[in-house]
Amino acid sequence: MEKFNIGIIGLGTVGGGVVKNLPNFRDTVNLKKIAVHNLNKKRNIEGLDESLLTDNPYEIVNDKDIDIVVEVMGGVNPAFDLLKTAINNGKHIVTANKELLAKHGEELFNLAKEKNVVILYEAAIAGGIPIIMPVKTILRGNKITKIDAILNGTTNYILTKMDEDGAPYEQVLKKAQELGYAETDPTSDVEGFDAAYKIVTLATISFNKRVKIGGIYREGITKISDRDIKFANEFGYKIKLIASAKLDDNGRADVRVHPMLVPKDHVLAKINNVTNAIMLSGKPVGEIMFTGAGAGEMPTASSVLGDILALCSEIGKSDFPLPMMRCNHESEAERIPIDETVNRYYISLDTADTPGSIGVVGTICGNHGINLSDILQKGSKEDGTAEVVVITALSREKNVKSALKEMKKSNAVVKINNLIRVMN
């Protein structure tokens, strides 16, 4: 059996998992070189041949004997230039870099097409959950029009623990950092960047139209309070950070990431802790869900290894390996601005604790064409205000924003605590 040389750029969590498992495939894969940031760092990898290590990743992308470059370093720079160099040198690519694909995927895929090489990226969307290859192969006969997904384990863990323990966000975030579920700087996760990078790529391949990261509506979980979670439960919902993408009847794409109230009987409401899940809706398949470990050393390594072996099975067998996995997007999806979307909304307010305050809120909503479906008042507070929560019927986003702007000017509304969209 022919063996293929691979070079790995990055030996962190994912790269370490890949290296630990490569000996299982030594008949197919020969690990020729590993690029690391610090040659002196101690690594918990049994049997690691340190002679393979280099701190110059260009040794890998310029090595004429390496067939496949595995990029698991993350970030845009220098990963972007490294992969361009590798592709120009005729090397196939396996990457787990969701940010790079979201920001520069179009250029990389176009270059790969020109050079007749393949970029595989199963690990870039949902860790160990197989989703890219299923969408491009077995689900190819479907017109997928909707994606609802939990794509970030850190935020799902935080929201789960806030719900289970009744604890505030800051306390649970600190615990997540102690357990290694959240980074020291958690911004990419908790502000929704990570999920946005992933939904952009997933929507692009699912809709067969290029979706670009610019203009994606993104909102994280930092404004979610333990009170919001308590009230959501009383209304029959769980709060989740949802990455969604939908095509309307005219083929326009609504792609966004933000917290949502998810009905408790919805399957995504039951996805807890660091687990990820992806629901696809299409014809003729209907609804289908993929769930599992969305991150971590071994789950993500599983997807990287699968891509490596898929390439090894095809290289040299034809002049155009893995044609179904190539990028063939000729058009860009027209986008629906968030202000034009129609949603239901959870609105948390502090009102003046005086007769008629709720009536004023209702009147303002009515003036902007917004019907209220549920209202919850939690009694008086020591500062002379009352805590009021409403859930609207389906309403246009720009109308809701206009109503909130008017409420801020009203003597009846002291403070607007939060606005969270509700899953339809």
Q: Write down the domain spans for the chain.
A: 4-128+297-325, 132-293, 341-422
State which fold the 4-128+297-325 domain adopts: Rossmann fold (3.40.50)
Gap between the Cα atoms of 279 and 135, Å rounded: 12
**CATH 3.30.428.10 is held by the domain 132-293:** no
Q: Work out the burial of residue 134: count CB atoms within 10 Å of its CB; fewer than 13 is exposed, 13-18 middle, 19 or more buried.
A: middle
Closest among 128, 61, 67 to 96, alpha carbons compared: 128
Which member of 103, 198, 209, 240 is catalytic?
Answer: 198
Report, at the CATH architecture level, how domain 341-422 is classified: 2-Layer Sandwich (3.30)
The CA-atom distances, in angstroms, between 68 and each of 9, 24, 147, 315 are 11, 18, 31, 10
Gap between the Cα atoms of 312 and 156, Å rounded: 35
Strands 119-120 and 92-95: parallel
Supply the pLDDT for residue 190.
98
The CA-atom distances, in angstroms, between 106 and each of 28, 57, 202, 223, 383 are 31, 23, 14, 33, 54
Supply the pLDDT for residue 318.
87
Token readout for 74 is 């993350």
Supply the pLDDT for residue 1.
60
Gap between the Cα atoms of 379 and 225, Å rounded: 18
Q: Work out the burial of residue 318: count CB atoms within 10 Å of its CB; fewer than 13 is exposed, 13-18 middle, 19 or more buried.
A: exposed
Which amino acid is residue 88, in one-letter code? N
Gap between the Cα atoms of 372 and 391, Å rounded: 6
Supply the pLDDT for residue 123.
97
Closest among 422, 6, 24, 99 to 236, alpha carbons compared: 422
Supply the pLDDT for residue 19.
97
Gap between the Cα atoms of 300 and 122, Å rounded: 9
Strands 385-392 and 342-352: antiparallel
Q: Work out the burial of residue 424: count CB atoms within 10 Å of its CB; fewer than 13 is exposed, 13-18 middle, 19 or more buried.
A: exposed
- The 3-state DSSP class for residue 222 equals coil
Gap between the Cα atoms of 46 and 22, Å rounded: 12
Q: Which residues are CB-neighbours of 389 under 8 A, at least 6 positions away?
A: 231, 235, 346, 347, 348, 349, 375, 376, 377, 378
pTM of this structure:
0.95
Q: How many residues does the chain have?
A: 424
Which amino acid is residue 68, in one-letter code? I
Peptide bond into 130 cis (omega under 30): no
> Any idea which residue has 């929704």 for tokens?
192
Active site residue 174: no
Residue-by-residue pLDDT tens, the chain, 424 positions = 689 999 999 999 999 999 999 999 999 999 999 999 999 999 989 989 999 999 999 999 999 999 999 999 999 999 999 999 999 999 999 999 999 999 999 999 999 999 999 999 999 999 999 999 999 999 999 999 999 999 999 999 999 999 999 999 999 999 999 999 999 999 999 999 999 999 999 999 999 999 999 989 999 999 999 999 999 999 999 999 999 999 999 999 999 999 999 999 999 999 999 999 999 999 999 999 999 999 999 999 999 999 999 999 999 888 889 998 988 877 899 999 999 999 999 999 999 999 999 999 999 999 999 999 999 998 788 888 999 999 999 999 999 999 999 999 999 999 999 999 999 8
Gap between the Cα atoms of 83 and 112, Å rounded: 10
Q: What does the DSSP assignment read for 254-299?
A: EEEEEEEEEETTSGGGG--TTEEEEEEEEETTEEEEEEEE-SSHHH
